[in-house]
């Protein structure tokens, strides 16, 4: 081969190498831009729910991954409560790909003492639980430990159908940086959620407070009116609570409040809302619950509390009962503001509670005149009169017809 041909061959080879390097550089630059954009969104996430959504959905789209899952250590069920309060019964479907762990033991085994990303071929035995469901089609994986202050708080998992996407022994600087950012964002989001919950939670009983309930009630009313779902509201009041405080002391009274709150909550679904309204009063929202089902829940709560034997600080056994007022928001209520309808729903439950108290306590009373656009026909109080007047007129007309018919028969 001549010198000229040799030089041309070398130049061509060098040009190919240069183009490959430039292509790789452009790919890396594009990847870093996408990573930078996602990083900014992660840092700016307003809630834990938004952060989880970004990690599970946006990262998959931004980097062309087929499988992305996340595991969080949730020893005290804190993340569970936060996500459920934001989504109710839809939390599981919206956060598909998220697993909440009781402990970090499985993650400790997975990462060992190095706490560094793990890259390599997919192993059904080792990795199925991380991607289940689904795991079909995964060829290579990247597993990212999420740690803060030397403690594992979670794990991020990427799965690809390409065997060359994640290869054991490859550099992990980019993934290590991503792990640190995700861990910091998770810790920050949880801290913000704790502050939010502190302002919306009753310190004594641990259930939601009145401020949270009033906001949540408007949200549930809006949803009920939009989708024409039934919505029930319960107003609950501990019977003769002042006597408990006076006879056994305020410490025993506080214990009773905590116990009653726990007993009420134990009978509710994940999407229901319970709050301490004030003093010895509690309120509950039951979305998508018909009247007969809501009544059954109320009766279960009443019965559960009545059969529970409590103990005062003096050692004396005490019995506690509760009165419950129940009201329903009809599905045909379309006019008026949500706040106004929420206030009327609560007021109707409070009115029913008043009747339960004056009817002998330790009972459930259903409001018979739920909120309507116009004044409803009711079987309680003064609203019985329009119905009675209409019935009297009907009976009078029927009597006249009967009298005339008898006269005609006599003539015949």
Q: Would you say residue 220 lies in a domain?
A: yes
Whether residues 333 and 369 fall in one domain: yes
Tell me if 9 is assigned to some domain: no
In angstroms, how far is the first alpha carbon of the chain from the final one? Answer: 137
CATH number (domain holding residue 187)? 3.30.450.40
Residue 226 lies in a domain: yes
Q: Are residues 280 and 257 in contact, defined by beta-carbon separation less than 8 angstroms?
A: yes
Quick one: 215 and 193 in the same domain? no
In a domain, 295, yes or no: yes
280 belongs to the catalytic site = yes
Calpha distance 181→184 (Å, rounded): 5
Does this model's pTM top 0.85?
no
Cα 25 versus chain centre, distance:
44
Residue with tokens 């009545």: 306
In a domain, 396, yes or no: no
Is 404 within the bounds of a domain?
A: no
Residues 230 and 339 in one domain: yes
Find tokens 């009809």 and name the residue.
330
Residue 105 structural domain:
33-198
Tell me if 128 is assigned to some domain.
yes
| Domain boundary pick from 147, 177, 198 | 198
- What is the rounded CA–CA span in Å between residue 236 and residue 264? 9
Contact 278, 208 (CB under 8 A): no
239 and 179 housed in the same domain: no
Q: Do 356 and 249 have their domain in common?
A: yes
Candidate list 24, 76, 176, 280, residue with the active-site label: 280
DSSP 322: E
241 and 121 belong to one structural domain: no
Total domain count for the chain? 2
Q: Does residue 169 share a domain with residue 253?
A: no
Please, what is the Cα angle at 236 between 231 and 238, to 5 degrees?
Answer: 170
Quick one: 300 and 162 in the same domain?
no
Q: What is the pLDDT along the chain (412 residues), one digit of tens a residue?
A: 567 777 777 777 878 887 877 777 776 677 667 777 878 888 888 889 889 988 998 888 887 889 999 999 999 888 887 887 665 544 555 578 899 999 999 999 999 888 899 999 999 888 888 987 666 789 999 999 999 988 999 999 999 999 999 999 887 888 898 899 999 999 999 988 887 777 888 989 989 999 999 999 999 999 898 888 999 999 999 999 999 999 999 999 999 999 999 999 999 987 899 999 999 999 999 999 999 999 999 999 999 999 999 999 888 999 999 999 999 997 676 677 889 999 999 999 999 999 999 999 999 999 975 444 333 333 333 333 333 444 555 555 555 555 565 555 545 4
Backbone conformation region of residue 91, classed left if phi is above 0, alpha if psi is from -120 to 50, else beta? alpha
* The 322-329 sheet, strands edge to edge: 208-209, 273-278, 281-287, 231-238, 322-329, 364-366
């Amino acid at each position: 081969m001549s010198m000229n041909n040799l030089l041309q061959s070398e130049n061509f080879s060098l040009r190919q190498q240069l183009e490959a390097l430039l292509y790789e550089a452009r790919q890396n630059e594009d990847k870093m831009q996408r990573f930078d954009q996602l990083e900014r969104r992660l840092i700016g996430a307003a809630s834990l729910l938004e952060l989880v959504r970004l990690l599970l959905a946006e990262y998959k789209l931004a980097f062309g991954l087929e499988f992305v899952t996340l595991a969080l250590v949730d020893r005290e069920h804190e993340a569970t409560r936060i996500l459920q309060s934001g989504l109710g019964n839809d939390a599981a479907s919206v956060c598909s790909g998220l697993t909440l762990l009781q402990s970090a033991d499985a993650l400790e085994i997975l990462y060992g003492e190095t706490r560094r990303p793990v890259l390599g071929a997919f192993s059904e035995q080792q990795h199925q639980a991380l991607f289940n469901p689904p795991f079909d089609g995964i060829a290579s994986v990247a597993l990212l430990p999420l740690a803060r202050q030397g403690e594992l708080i979670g794990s991020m998992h990427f799965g690809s159908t390409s065997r060359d996407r994640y290869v054991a022994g490859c550099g992990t600087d980019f993934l290590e940086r991503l792990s640190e950012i995700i861990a910091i964002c998770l810790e920050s989001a949880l801290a913000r959620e704790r502050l939010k919950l502190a302002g919306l939670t009753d310190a004594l009983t641990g259930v939601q407070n009145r401020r949270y309930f009033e906001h949540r009630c408007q949200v549930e009313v809006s949803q009920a009116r939009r989708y024409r779902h039934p919505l029930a509201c319960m107003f609950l009041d501990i019977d003769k609570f002042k006597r408990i405080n006076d006879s056994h002391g305020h410490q025993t009274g506080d214990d009773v409040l905590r116990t009653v709150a726990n007993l009420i909550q134990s009978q509710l679904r994940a999407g229901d809302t319970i709050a301490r309204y004030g003093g010895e009063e509690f309120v509950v929202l039951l979305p998508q619950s018909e009247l007969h089902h809501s009544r059954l829940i109320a009766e279960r709560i009443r019965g559960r509390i009545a059969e529970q034997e409590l103990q005062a600080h003096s050692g004396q056994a005490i019995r506690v009962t509760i009165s419950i007022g129940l009201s329903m928001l009809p599905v045909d209520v379309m006019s008026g503001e949500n706040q106004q309808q929420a206030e009327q729903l609560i007021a109707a439950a409070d009115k029913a509670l008043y009747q339960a108290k004056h009817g002998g306590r330790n009972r459930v009373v259903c409001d018979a005149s739920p909120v309507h656009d116009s004044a409803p026909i009711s079987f309680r109080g003064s609203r019985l009169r329009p119905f009675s007047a209409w019935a009297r007129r009907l009976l009078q007309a029927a009597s006249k017809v009967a009298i005339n018919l008898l006269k005609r028969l006599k003539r015949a």
